[in-house]
Amino acid sequence: MNDIVMPKLSDTMTEGRLVSWKKRVGDEVRRGEVIAEVETDKANMELEAYASGVILELKAQPGDLVQVGTVIAVVGKPEEKGAPAPQAQAPGKETPTAGQAPEPEPEKVPEPEKVPEPEKVPEPEKERVAQEKGDESSQAAPPPAGAKEAKEADLFPMEGEKQAPAAPPVPGTDQEQPGKAAAGPTEYIHTRAPAPGKEAPEFTPSAAGRERAAPVVRRRARELGMDLAQVRGSGPDGRILLQDLEGTAGSEGAAAPEQPRKELAPAAGPRLVEEVRTMSRLRAAVAKTVADSWEHIPHFSVTMDILMDEAEAIRRQLKQGGMRVTVNDVIVKGVALALVQYPQLNARYTPDGISYHGEVNVSVAVGVPEGVLMPVVHRCHALTLLEIAQESERLVKRARSGALTEQEMNGGTFSVSNLGMFGVDCFSAIIHPAQAGVLAVGAVLDAPVVRSGVLTSAKVMKVTLSADHRVADGAYAAEFLKALKEVLENPVRLLI
């Protein structure tokens, strides 16, 4: 047998939440086949089987929080497929062997030989008359026997099982009389039906709905008051994306009006509520990451103005040619070129010394409802501006749909955080662990500048570099910003 354990799917992952199982006990799986979906501290990811065989046991349930390295499933040989069957037994009952598995039903059904109890009623003649008239109430007369039969029949509840009608008649009862055969079997058929109070199977429709959406999407659905079961997903395998929610909310106006009704207040606008809300796993992970970084990395910041007139002109020309390039794409390319000249900021501090990276991999901050994701544009120094634009667009879409992979989120050597689209003029960011710097980018604004002694207007962008003081000093950080300024104000190099 082979144990399937909760894997470490990210650099900071210590535990994962099981979202759903893709396989059931007894299903055959192949090595590399997806068997479950796991929620990490960054995104939802698929879990693949380590070996081929049969699912013998599922040791974790959807929603469970499992430590990395803990066994969550067992895969074994096909002939061991029947091994988990005893789990359906009630406590105190004898456990049948694999070879006896098909036989327990006939052996257990005849056991309630107390069926004749109704015949001990002092007025047997009255009961016989009622049966001859077809009075169905007499069939339900012995509730203790029927209740006991139901209790015994529930010992082996299997979906789709229809063994009850084939149960042999109990000697000495009305079941042996041809004219009254319907009374006995009818009771067995009813007792074989699953009891209404029984716990639902693991793969319920609600669980299936949860696994079709990432945590980001589920949280947004709750905010909109929408039922994910009513939303048609446009992602892979019907996966529900954020745009599906917005489209449904806009077209149907489904549950949005419910929010004002909850306020119970005539005044417009949100109402303040004093409460403590449990953080999502992503929000908790972001909180831990920034707190650790702020505590252990000595930050310092340097700010500089960059004239973006020439860069904006090139962007407009590229757009006219059908190539969509954002301000952030231009900055990522400029940062990559500047880091090649100043590699000390493309490094990280270690107790043994400064560890330099052989590639420029830029982490780009993407805001999502539950926090911030940092997908990585790998090998930026070797990519063209258009290639960076295409890769950035792809990563942003995957981040907002909760579909980023482990590789797409790991390996960053420097970070860029842009709040310019919100009209933010200037801010400073917190350095990501295992990096030495992050560039905070403000909005491109029209501002007065003096050129050749003449006051004129120009498009100005403020950038702030936060650096690890253990790796670089203020002068080195200023030189880096100066190199970035030269590239962006003379953007011909961006097109090479």
| Confidence class for position 260, pLDDT limits 50, 70, 90 | low
Task: Report d(CA 323, CA 325) in Å as an integer.
Answer: 6
| Confidence class for position 81, pLDDT limits 50, 70, 90 | low
**Level-2 CATH architecture, domain 2-87:** Beta Barrel (2.40)
Domain 205-263 and domain 282-495, same fold? Reply is: no
Q: What does DSSP say about strands 362-364 and 414-418: parallel, antiparallel, or unpaired?
A: parallel
User: Based on the number of CB atoms within 10 Å of its own CB, is 413 exposed (0-12), middle (13-18) or buried (19 or more)?
Assistant: buried
- CB under 8 Å to 385, separation ≥6 — which residues? 325, 329, 330, 333, 494, 495
Residue 276 reports pLDDT greater than 70: yes
The two structure tokens encoding residue 65: 């929080």
Residue 181 reports pLDDT greater than 80: no
Residue 91 reports pLDDT greater than 70: no
Q: Are 1 and 80 in contact (CB under 8 A)?
A: yes
**pLDDT at 180 (0 to 100):** 42
Q: How many secondary structure helices (H) and strands (E) does the chain include?
A: 14, 18
Closest by CA position to 347, among listed 277, 267, 423, 435: 435
Residue 451 reports pLDDT greater than 60: yes
Token pair 């950080």 is at which residue? 477
User: Domain spanning 282-495 has what CATH number?
Assistant: 3.30.559.10
Higher pLDDT, 31 or 438: 438
Where exactly are the structural domains of the chain? 2-87, 158-193, 205-263, 282-495
Q: Are 354 and 361 in contact (CB under 8 A)?
A: no
The phi-psi region of residue 253 (left if phi > 0; otherwise alpha if psi is between -120 and 50; otherwise beta) is left
Closest by CA position to 336, among listed 416, 264, 409: 416
**pLDDT at 283 (0 to 100):** 86
| Confidence class for position 267, pLDDT limits 50, 70, 90 | low
Q: What is the DSSP string of 332-393?
A: HHHHHHHHHH-GGGSEEEETTEEEE-SS--EEE-EEETTEEE--EETTGGGS-HHHHHHHHH
CATH 4.10.320.10 corresponds to the domain 205-263? yes
Q: What percent of the chain has pLDDT over 90?
A: 37
The model's pTM is 0.54
Structure confidence by residue, pLDDT tens digits, 204-218: 444 444 556 777 788
Structure confidence by residue, pLDDT tens digits, 219-257: 888 878 788 787 878 777 777 887 787 766 555 544 445
Least confident of 17-21, 115-119, 412-416, 461-465: 115-119
Task: Report d(CA 411, CA 367) in Å as an integer.
Answer: 19
**Which H/E stretch holds residue 262?**
helix 258-263
Q: Are 48 and 4 in contact (CB under 8 A)?
A: no
Token pair 């144990």 is at which residue? 3
